Amino acid sequence: MPAGSDLSRQPPWQVLASRLRGRLLLPGDREYEQRRRVWNGAIDRHPPAIARCADAEDVCYAVKFCASEYLAMTVRGGGHNVAGLAVRDDALMLDLGIMNRVDVDPTARLAHVEGGALWRDVDAATQSFGLATTGGFVSTTGVGGYTLGGGVGWLMRRCGLAIDNLLEAHMVLADGRSLVANENQHADLFWGLRGGAGGLGVVTRFTYRLHAVGDVYAGVVIYPVDAAHDLLRSFRTFTPEAPDALTVMLVFTTAPPLPFLPEGAHGKRVVALAYCWSGDPALGAGAAAPIRECAEPLGSHEGVAPYAAWQQGFDPSAPAGDLYYWTTSQFDAIDDAMIDALVPRAAEPADPFCEVHVHHLGGAVARVTGDATAFSHRDAPFFVNVIGHTNAAERFDAVHGWVRGFRGALAPFARADMQPNFAGEMNDLIAHAHGSTSRAKLAALRAHYDPDGWLAPVRAG
Ligand SMILES: Cc1cc2nc3c(=O)[nH]c(=O)nc-3n(C[C@H](O)[C@H](O)[C@H](O)COP(=O)(O)OP(=O)(O)OC[C@H]3O[C@@H](n4cnc5c(N)ncnc54)[C@H](O)[C@@H]3O)c2cc1C
């Protein structure tokens, strides 16, 4: 059983600081306060120090320092993980935020991306060549955690999950050794990196396959919440047959004062049909018509847009620093009883900022065999994310309760496991983020590549 971090004595921080090209931040530094905080304002932890790694050598040195000082580590990529996996009270944080370089090889259609980049960094670099790869629905999500957890997004049904486009990872293991993992070298590790949700080493550089993606036809169509039953029934019929170039989402939300909505709708609970067609933009206008036309919309904003611009469209709905708690469930079907369980809860949230996102998979995601990567349940046709969100601390308990109640209400219709990227807390991640076969394989990999558990999300003992 591994020993925990020994924080009864101060590690020789000045030794680490003197060797890093990036800065070492200690409690009291102004920048420390900024970097210890992650996207979810409900996470309030104080690591003993933060190593702002400037490059792979910094990562390597910081990891060796931890091993020699019996210190656990966390890795901060984009800091978006809702359970706050990037920060612990008893672990040195390796902050990769300044390792955000993206090199594009347009001829080979490859992007080499440093481990701390955000999706907006990748999109900006690849889109100038008319190329892209699957990234998150929000552009400020980190490439690192997102990819290690699988990575769903607007392009997934045409291009696959992020992990299906991952060709290689440059890594530093928990003992400080550097290696490259791909299909031919350390293939076991490469399997676990693709959907295993981290904890196998620090990825300093990801290499992704790119696809031709320029303009997309995309938009949102907003309906009164009374249309929810019709929209969900239409969604379940249409999406299994939808072309790969189309990804659709139904979002239960509270209407912001958008210029294309009548004033009477502002602040009301609504359902938004959001979609992205990444095929020929000229053919996009009717792509979501079967769902779009099943009810009378309140307003819409649709048209041709550069992919990278569409990719940033939802950023304002996810402000950093607010309080969040999420859960997620996967479904084989959306039947009437499941719709009856979902709609009233989605229509009456504990806070107006709370949302419910109804997604489909299929397409290229479902064509990869289930055991090819550690991402379990890629064959699930539907998943639902319940997004607890408030900016008022006094409402957070109620929001938490709403999310857990929602999860319980959907449980009779759902598969037992969940996608790791949307697990709202550590217990869910440990117990439910993978099917039992993947879970056992991942445990064996972690025991082999990090036997002392220095990178494990929670330390035993
Ligand atoms: C607003 C928002 C939108 C989102 N949208 C999507 C979406 O569309 N699709 C989707 O699949 N997920 C989505 N997510 C979930 C997101 O992918 C996960 O929360 C993911 O863990 C975030 O990665 P990060 O690097 O930003 O987070 P962090 O909190 O920095 O890291 C998360 C975990 O990954 C590890 N990690 C990060 N980088 C590295 C690295 N380079 N090497 C080794 N370990 C690393 C960390 O140690 C930590 O355990 C979204 C999250 C948010 C907050």
Q: Could you tell me if 270 and 410 lie in one domain?
A: yes
Q: Which domain holds residue 261?
A: 215-430
Residue 443 maps to a domain: no
Give per-residue pLDDT as tens, 208-261.
Answer: 999 999 999 999 999 999 999 999 999 999 999 999 999 999 999 999 999 999
Rounded Cα–Cα distance for residues 338 and 352 (Å): 23
325 CA from centroid of ligand 1 (Å): 15
Best of 421, 430, 454, 455 for a ligand 1 pocket test (most atoms within 8 Å of beta carbon): 421
Indicate the pTM of the whole model.
Answer: 0.96
- Mean residue pLDDT of the chain comes to 95
Distance 452 CA to ligand 1 centre (A): 24
pLDDT at residue number 458: 55
Are residues 270 and 384 both part of a single domain? yes
Domain ends where: 66, 95, 124? 95
Cβ of 303: how many Cβ atoms within 10 Å? 14
What is the CA(171)–ligand 1 centre distance, in A?
17
Query: Tens digits of per-residue pLDDT, 115-159?
Result: 999 999 999 999 999 999 999 999 999 999 999 999 999 999 999
Q: What distance in Å separates the CA atoms of residue 214 and residue 291, rounded to the nearest whole number?
A: 25
Ligand 1 atom 1: residue of nearest CA: 318
Distance 392 CA to ligand 1 centre (A): 24
Exposure letters 409-444 (e unless 16+ CB within 10 A, then b): bbeebbbebbbbbbbbeeebbeebbbbeebbebbee
DSSP strand pairing (72-76 vs 91-95):
parallel
Residue 47 predicted with pLDDT over 50: yes
Return d(Cα 59, Cα 43) in angstroms, integer.
Answer: 24
Residue 447 belongs to a domain: no
Give pLDDT tens digits for 249-283.
Answer: 999 999 999 999 999 999 999 999 999 999 999 99
- Select from 72, 95, 118 the last residue of a domain: 95
| Structure token pair of residue 386 | 């319940």
Look-up of token digits 């966390």 = 74
The count of structural domains within the chain is: 3
| Same-domain pairing of 17 and 127 | no
Residue 337 lies in a domain: yes
The CATH number assigned to the domain holding 108 equals 3.30.465.10
Q: How confident is the model at residue 347 (pLDDT cuts 50, 70, 90)?
A: very high
In this prediction, residue 6 carries a pLDDT of: 66
At 4 the pLDDT is 59
Which atom of ligand 1 has the smallest separation from the CA of 99?
41
- For residue 440, give the 3-state DSSP assignment: helix
The ligand 1 atom at the shortest distance from the C-alpha of residue 203 is 42
pLDDT at 435: 85
Residue of minimum CA distance from atom 50 in ligand 1: 141
Kindly tell me the sign of the dihedral angle through the C-alpha atoms of 134, 79, 219, 357: positive
- Enumerate residues lining ligand 1, CB below 6 A: 38-39, 74-82, 85-86, 96, 115, 136-138, 141-142, 144-146, 148-153, 198, 202-203, 318, 421
Q: Is 59 in the same domain as 108?
A: no
